[in-house]
Structure 1
Amino acid sequence: MPVSAGQDPITVAVLHGGETPPGLERHAGDARLRFAADAGELAAVLPGSDVLLTWDFTSDAVKDVWEATDTDALRWVHTASAGVDRVAFPALLASGATLTNSRGVFDRPIAEFVLGAVIAFAKDTARSLTLQRERTWRHRETETVAGKVATVVGSGPIGRAVADLLGAVGMRVRLVGRRAADGVHAFDELPGLLPDTDHLVLAAPLTDATRGMLHAGTIALLPERARVVNVGRGALVVQDDLTDALATGRLAGAALDVFETEPLPATSPLWAMEHVLLSPHMSGDVVGWKDMLVELFADNLARFRDGRELRNVVDPERGYVSSSAGKV
């Protein structure tokens, strides 16, 4: 259903975490902006606000202040991320406020990141850099990616973009979604797909069904040559189980962009593993990404003002944007 803003100027609360969204004032038109850096400030600006923009999508401030704050006026919550797990808590979902995300901004960048990780493993890039620093000439043979099997969990835009790029370099790609569809395997088929998987790519939203999906049991189904690439959410993986599998050689490697605890503690053994590629939750963050996030929100703000359908409406039962939601 369209969300109508009515006739009065729109009031937008912005949880920014210390960084103001670039150009937001210019794009906001006559909307009244109320900025909050943290939970304390958010509790002060949220009452009476029509809209909440969670620019700081790593913060739990919305959940922390929700129950003790007057949110009766709030009709729309937007998060500047593809994942909604920090804001899709039961009380917000039950409030009647429409929840939208930033789907579409990160698809291609994350797909390129995954392809880069797959090729880096195949061509032993990390070892080449180490030997270069050591001024050591050591000839080796590397792998080809053509013909290798990639199982991509997550059939939304990010997962499909990953599948397209991996397929373009000759990999055999299986896409796994919540349920079976044309060209998509159902999530409950995943155990049967793991034994011949060379690269397991996790690009699924974090839901009750996907939380902890990669654990000792599912890892045991993968061949020892398999590598794991996680660009979804850290909680998709039982990190201790994955760490143990990597330490013992049960898996050949992993490229991890997200973790159970972020930043990843300096005490984590993952830091020292030669066959592990670590990055600080940046797989979708390319030059200009913040501007794209603001432009997406601004477009939805105009839609909200006019009473038109919002883009990227999250299905409160599924916890992600369904294929039929969020019409442009």
Structure 2
Amino acid sequence: MEHALPTPAAPPRVVVLTGDVRPREMAEAERLGRVRYVREPQLADALPDADVFFMWDFLSDAVAGSWPSAGGPSWVHIASAGVDRLAFPALTESDVVVTNSRGVFDEPIAEYVLGLVLAFAKDLGTTVRLQGERRWRHRETERITGARALVVGTGPIGRAIARRLSAAGLAVCGAGRTARDGDPDFGVVKSVAALGEALAEADYVVLAAPLTAQTRGMVDAAALDRMRPSARLINVGRGGLVAEPDLVKALSAGRIAGAALDVFEDEPLPPSSPLWDMPNVIVSPHMSGDVVGWRDELVHLFTENLGRYVSGRPLRNVVDKRLGYVGSDAGPNHGGPNHEGQNQRG
């Protein structure tokens, strides 16, 4: 499948949806193209004349309603790994090429997941609470060496998580589209279709899958009932992977031991959510991949791809719009066909 676009005859018109924070380090992009920065109210007016659309505000829900009925960009780049907010028919059924920011968040998210596993095993939340109360209460904690982790999602983020947890001593397996043995990062990968069996064996269930029609609500009451009472759920994928009311009930009833949630169906998480007050829940504000310098890395990736676009070379991180993520013909580093790197499956 060919993903190189025709070399533009003139500097391309680039529309950037900025949100509250405008991207920095855009000098090279401004040299390569005619860049226009817009907020949501100006988006519908700007898109029809654009050659390129850079969705810097990757949490915006305005793109579908602003998409032009005629004309518009030939290439869309989003400043996130997930592309679910671009999954509307006018775009997915078109010839527009979509690329994502795969690769920027892999290692930071893996580190964050390891931190959450340690926080649960070593009961760090209780330690911090007791310190605030000036209470000395000795407890025993858990080992992570030998604990079993199931990583749902075998793309680059899932693989980075698997490597990090394996290095810390956990026994890791994966769940992806295709069951297989001998995977270099997971060893064993089980089919998502047989997820229930894998859930029953895990001490930690880590969700790192993209949000698609097939994965939405995959962790529901039935899935939670299959988990061990001592197990913890960690979600760094998308909030829609979890049926949140079912999770609240399972946590309240003690059917699982805890959850660490970095993503939610509604963001920001409403103050009325019972998840805020649950002692066995860690809530974080969609920050697991956001380390110092992450915004500059996102701009660098877009600018590199813009250079490829203006010279007619294949783009990095081309998304298979049918699947909702970079497809199986993509290398782990470059995300498009005919690039160096081993094939990425799952």
Instruction: Note closer, same or farther for the CA distance 1:181–1:305 as it changes in structure 2 (3 Å cut).
Output: farther
| 1:43 is the counterpart of 2:44 | yes
Match of 1:8 among 10, 14, 37: 10
Q: What are the Cα deviations for residues 232-289 of structure 1, in whole angstroms up to 9, with x where unaligned?
A: 0000000000011111111100000001110000011110111100000000000000
Shift of 1:26: 3.5
CA distance in 2, matches of 1:181, 1:106: 26
Number of the residue aligned with 2:254: 249
SS at match of 2:316: coil
Number of the residue aligned with 1:96: 95
Normalised by the length of structure 1, the TM-score is 0.97
Number of the residue aligned with 2:135: 136
Number of the residue aligned with 1:58: 59
Shift of 1:30: 3.5
| 1:28 is the counterpart of 2:30 | yes
Number of the residue aligned with 2:104: 105
Q: Is the 8 A contact 2:81 2:102 kept in 1?
A: yes
Number of the residue aligned with 1:309: 314
Give 2:218's aligned amino acid: M
Instruction: Note closer, same or farther for the CA distance 1:48–1:306 as it changes in structure 2 (3 Å cut).
Output: same
Q: What are the Cα deviations for residues 300-319 of structure 1, in whole angstroms up to 9, with x where unaligned?
A: 00000111110000001111
Q: Is the 8 A contact 2:28 2:303 kept in 1?
A: no
Q: Is the 8 A contact 1:15 1:36 kept in 2?
A: yes
Give 1:57's aligned amino acid: F
Give 2:215's aligned amino acid: T
Number of the residue aligned with 1:298: 303
Q: What are the Cα deviations for residues 127-180 of structure 1, in whole angstroms up to 9, with x where unaligned?
A: 000110111111100000011110000000000000001111111111111122
Give 2:234's aligned amino acid: V
Q: Is the 8 A contact 2:8 2:310 kept in 1?
A: yes
Structure-to-structure mapping, 1:126-205, within 5 angstroms: 126-182=125-181, 183=183, 184-205=189-210
Match of 1:274 among 266, 276, 279: 279
SS at match of 2:320: coil
Q: Is the 8 A contact 1:28 1:298 kept in 2?
A: no
CA distance in 1, matches of 2:153, 2:173: 10
Structure-to-structure mapping, 1:66-81, within 5 angstroms: 66=67, 69-81=68-80
SS at match of 1:130: helix
Shift of 1:87: 0.9
Shift of 1:324: 1.9
Match of 2:294 among 289, 300, 324: 289
Structure-to-structure mapping, 1:210-225, within 5 angstroms: 210-225=215-230
Q: What are the Cα deviations for residues 113-139 of structure 1, in whole angstroms up to 9, with x where unaligned?
A: 100000000000000001101111111
Number of the residue aligned with 2:344: none
CA distance in 1, matches of 2:150, 2:255: 18
CA distance in 1, matches of 2:134, 2:70: 61
Q: Report how many residues are paired.
A: 325
CA distance in 1, matches of 2:66, 2:287: 28
Q: Is the 8 A contact 1:35 1:45 kept in 2?
A: no
SS at match of 1:64: helix
CA distance in 2, matches of 1:273, 1:5: 55
Number of the residue aligned with 1:125: 124
Structure-to-structure mapping, 1:226-265, within 5 angstroms: 226-265=231-270
Give 1:89's aligned amino acid: F
Give 1:222's aligned amino acid: M
CA distance in 2, matches of 1:71, 1:177: 37
Q: Percent identity?
A: 53
Gap runs ≥5 in structure 2: 184-188, 340-346
Give 2:202's aligned amino acid: T
CA distance in 2, matches of 1:30, 1:71: 25
